[in-house]
Structure 1
Amino acid sequence: METDVVIVGGGPVGLYLAASLLQEGVSVRLLEQRTERNIHTRAIGIHPPALEALDGVHLADAMVREGVPIRAGMALSGGRTVGTMSFAGVSEDFPFVLALPQYRTEQLLEERVNALDSRAIVRGVRVTGVNDDGASAAVVVEPSSDATAGGGSFEASIVVAADGARSRLRDAVRMPVRTKAYPDHYLMGDFADSGRHGQMAVLFLEPEGIVESFPLPGGLRRWVVRLGQPAEGADAGRLARLVLRRTGILPDVRTNTMLSAFSVRSTMARRIVAGRVVLVGDAAHEISPIGGQGMNLGWLDAQALAPVVREAVAGKPVARRLKAFDAGRRRAAVIARRQSEVNMLLGRPLPAPLLRLRNLAIGGAASIPAMNLWTARRFTMQ
């Protein structure tokens, strides 16, 4: 099958890029291995630059109506307030971080894609290879294990890999990656929200390690606890007990709706353009979930790529623009990785004297308006 663009991966980044291109008249086939969507909340934070990008595909308003706008954050330690941070000055249109479960974000994006072209999304196919002759590229596919679709190939002017950190397409074109492991492990889950912190994000800076807490739609709140070693399994009771021990707050285990344990690593592709194949999102750069930058970085990749793709489809030479895209997005990924490393560093255990010094530094910075705004802008990817 011939089309202008093939996008491999039907997550939030691939769906956003498909919508962006389709509304400009570019034909797209989005290939997704899964036949059904993952309904776990997973990523929840949408930063202002990403909301501006999503506004370009006419979805920001709908997302804001359904999500929880987090307009401020607070750091606590030992039951006392260390500092607060307002997001009021980070954006004129979206002065907040929006909390919306990833599955709902994907639903809204998929509805938009289907409204633009009901045939654009092809589910139940797995990429097995790609052939690039310099003028076009053909993606070879076979049915995934849970599908009955047939095999074959899709030919396009540009092929985009948005198929995640373990990208098959990246492996198919043999793009090298650098992987870095971190001594940071987390257990997280969603529980009924008691309402004591309203719509505020809360960081509990405690001697045993950080506990993070974020409001979610539907009267839920996410709790994330740093562990000293990988969790052997995700257990709601254990998570609730850890939250209680460090914060004095006991989430109601009976209300748990999502549970996940993860260890942190980063994966950075040494290049993200290879001929007619381009990597975006986690396929190009896997970033620590702490700070919620990964999904947003992928959207900004796609936003930057869309005009280059339109020129390529129109037959214009784009080699220089692709080279600039490669360099620019890898720089952005390095900045995001550094910010995630700072976020993780602030959450690591400390002995009491050093914890007090760190809290004093955080409180002092938060009390200076210019520093508070600078920190808020960095946290929200400005």
Structure 2
Amino acid sequence: MADVLIIGAGPVGLFMAALLLQAGVDVQTVEQRSAPEPHSRAIGIHPPALAALARAGVGEALVGEGVRIRRGVALAGGKRLAEMSFAGVSDCFPFILSHPQGRTEALLERRVNGLKAGAVHRAVRLTGLSDDGGQVTVDAVGPCGAVRYAAPLVIAADGVRSSVRALQGIGVRGKDYPDSYVMGDFADGTGFGADAALFLAGDGIVESFPLPGQLRRWVVRLGARDAAGLTADGGDCAAWFTQCVRGRTGFEIDPGTNSMLSSFGVRTRLASRMVAGRVIMIGDAAHEVSPIGGQGMNLGWLDAEALAPIVTAALGGEDVAGSLRIFERTRLRAAAKAARQAEINMALGRPLADRRLALRNRGIAGVAAVPFVNSLIARRFTMH
């Protein structure tokens, strides 16, 4: 029996495992997927999360592989409206790191296996969970049939469709948004280098971020006509996507270099609680926020960093009830704040008619021109 059983071997669960293992806690991690997800949705690592990852022994490898985004630029009609520097947001990490989630997971899993060989068990699906007040028993089905795990504490990092949350009967409150997006990764011929770019087009915003390997991710906010065109395109989504980017930004991207194309809608979900007896939920299992702004995965890492010392104290025999209440309150508050920030980001990128578009773009340019405000917004965007 391990000290802690972690459900979920995504980036948050693996990070939680690394933190606890290096603190001397015996951990087992189980994951429903038989193999890591090959495609990356999340790519942005913000300075507070990068500092936490460094403390878990993976920061140097991440920075060595990733692209350091030190500046974002806003453009409209081929003209540069504003720019934002991240130079002042952190002494150690004055940038947002662009690093594909798949590689981030691989580095974290390597770290976990280096701390404890065989700590990650894949193709394990939960079927039941019971908490008798002294330990938690988890029933599951693995590659060889039924299996049972027991541990004094269970940490659920099993994502937006959390089996643990469902088995515990924990409710969520949330909101669905009308916004829809398509994102794709293509060879980078923009000349932006390591800069992020936001194109404030009337048909909807286009976001563009550098990736390792001379690639660039494009994220397009869909309008009603776009959704209809995408559906009726005859299946050549990459060609449609490149035409959409060209029309809104003026940049040509080669559809033949596409390595990933994915659509997504947006919603917010906050669990009514993160702590239920000896079961604690972190990451998307506890709070799902819009990907626009790139804070969801980072929130999960910061959950784990806040939880790790509480877990070690509990296993050492300390009464941590008060600490868990503070943890739950502050982390749900942080998730709600991130959700509000994402709402602002989405509102700024929605389609607008000519007059309202001009007013919005002038407003953004005016605000960005005030150094103090620009710096404040940069800190907000980077989770400070």
TM over 0.5: yes
Alpha-carbon separation, structure 1, partners of 2:345 and 2:120: 36
Partner of 1:181: 176
Does the alignment pair 1:169 with 2:164? yes
Matches within 5 A, 1:6-45: 6-45=5-44
Which sits farther off after the overlay, 13-22 or 55-64? 55-64
SS in 2 for 1:316: coil
Deviations, residues 164-189 of structure 1 (Å, cap 9, x unaligned): 00000100001000121001000110
Which residue of structure 2 aligns with residue 228 of structure 1? 223
Question: Which residue of the partner structure matches residue 202 of structure 1?
Answer: 197
Q: Residue in 2 aligned with 1:152?
A: 147
Answering whether residue 122 of structure 2 is matched by residue 123 of structure 1, we say yes
Determine the C-alpha separation between the residues in 2 that align with 1:217 and 1:206: 26
Q: 1:191 to 1:88 in 2, by over 3 A?
A: same
Q: 1:379 aligns with which of 375, 378, 381?
A: 381
| Contact kept in structure 1, 2:67 and 2:98, CA below 8 Å | yes
Structure 2 equivalent of residue 368 of structure 1: 370
How many percent identity over aligned positions? 55
Given that 2:190 and 2:251 are in contact with CA atoms closer than 8 Å, whether structure 1 keeps it comes out as: no
Q: Secondary structure at the match of 2:35?
A: coil
The answer for the alignment partner of 2:106 in structure 1 is 107
How far apart are 1:150 and its partner, in Å?
2.9
1:208 is aligned with what amino acid? D
Equivalent residues of 1:234, 1:261 under 8 A apart: no
* Paired position in structure 2 for 1:274: 276
Deviation by residue 1:276-307 (Cα, 9 ceiling, x = unmatched): 11110000001101110000000000000101
Conserved 8 A contact 1:157-1:312: no
Amino acid at match of 1:128: T
Q: Counterparts of 1:312 and 1:126 in 2: how far apart (Å)?
A: 27
CA distance in 2, matches of 1:237, 1:313: 55
Paired position in structure 1 for 2:251: 249
Q: Distance in 2 between matches of 1:300 and 1:238?
A: 38
Q: Aligned-pair distance for 1:216? A: 0.2
What do the CA deviations read for 1:345-365 (whole angstroms, capped 9, x no partner)? 110011111111111111111
What residue is the counterpart of 1:308 in the other structure? 310
| Shift of residue 315, structure 1, vs aligned partner | 2.1
**In structure 2, what is the Cα distance between the partners aligned to 1:139 and 1:269?**
21
TM-score, length-scaled by structure 1: 0.97
Q: Which amino acid aligns with 1:362?
A: I
What secondary structure sits across from 2:145 in the alignment?
A: coil
Matched residue of 1:107: which SS?
A: helix
The alpha carbon displacement at 1:234 in A equals 8.3
What is the Cα deviation at residue 61 of structure 1? 1.1
Q: Find the aligned partners of 1:151 and 1:56 in 2 and give their Cα distance.
A: 36
Aligned 8 A contact 1:267 1:287 in 2: yes
Count matched residues.
377
Q: Conserved in 1, the CA contact under 8 Å of 2:74 and 2:199?
A: yes
TM-score, scaled to structure 2:
0.96
Cα separation, 2, equivalents of 1:173 and 1:314: 26
Amino acid at match of 2:183: M
CA distance in 2, matches of 1:119, 1:138: 20
* Structure 1 residue ranges (4+ consecutive) displaced by more than 6 angstroms after TM superposition: none
Say whether 1:98 aligns with 2:93: no
Change (3 A) 1:381 1:3: same
**What is the deviation of 1:247?**
0.8
CA contact (8 A) 1:192 1:251 kept: yes
Q: What RMSD, in angstroms, separates the aligned Cα atoms of the two structures? A: 1.1
1:42-100 Cα offsets, whole Å, 9 max, x none, are 11000000001001111111101100000000000111111000000000000000000
Task: Measure, in 1, the Cα distance between the counterparts of 2:99 and 2:339.
Answer: 23
CA–CA distance in structure 2, aligned partners of residues 234 and 265 of structure 1: 27
CA contact (8 A) 1:125 1:149 kept: no
Residue 149 of structure 1: how far off its partner (Å):
2.9
Equivalence for 1:215: 210
1:303-334 deviation line (CA, Å, top 9, x unaligned): 00101111111222111111111111100000
1:128-171 Cα distance to aligned partner (Å, 9 max, x none)? 1211011221111112xxxx233222111111110000000100
